[in-house]
A = this chain, B = another copy of it.
């Protein structure tokens, strides 16, 4: 049977977890490991790369490759389009445009996205519903200097997040998660009480250094972002 990188990875992991390779200890070099496992060095290398990526081992310039003392846990969360998120729960998705306006960029937005003075932005407010219940309130700002074609869109049927993906598929992103409270307006749109806790996702994106969009997504009370690994 051919030894795969998965075999190598799982054997190394079990050596670490059983304490055979203690935390902080030096990991044998890849050539020796390839010999031990009877596989190609590239196979060992792939296993090691994944173990590094997952925080189990670390490579230090002078100290060599070691079992990590205090793993930095990295949590990966899928952030799908809200349509996909809702449909994956088996619910019907519905989108609704609340308001649509071209405005001078407000100062707080200019600061946040590093926009030049005097630029205009498209300000959209949208609601996303799951089986008819309020799911997410979207407060969206699009930089018209970067995306002048957004001016021609009415966003009546297709939400700005889906539109943006086709307009500018990939970009630099900053995501910030926080807890807020529903004010009067949010409580009306989300169908909750004022003062209810609101899980908030903010995302700013840039495209080759140019500001594209800032969005603040407010979720109905009880919303959770969960991951397993």
Contact = CB atoms under 8 A, between A and B. Distances in A.
A142 to B, nearest CB: 17
Nearest to A53: B53
Interface residues of A, number: 48
Copies of this chain present in the complex amount to 2
A177 interface: yes
A73 B225 contact: no
A183 to B, nearest CB: 12
Given A173-B229, A177-B177, A228-B172, A74 B77 contact: yes
Interface stretch (A114-122, A150-158, A193-201): A193-201
Given A13-B170, A70-B81, A70-B165, A179 B195 contact: no
Nearest to A205: B73
Nearest to A83: B70
Given A13-B170, A72-B78, 4 more contacts: A17-B170, A75-B76, A75-B79, A173-B229
A149 interface: no
Given A72-B80, A74-B78, A75-B79, A199 B170 contact: no
Contacts of A91: none
Nearest to A165: B70
Of A16, A162, A173, A175, which is in contact with the most chain B CB atoms at under 10 Å from its CB? A175
A79 B72 contact: yes
A207 to B, nearest CB: 8
B170 A16 contact: yes
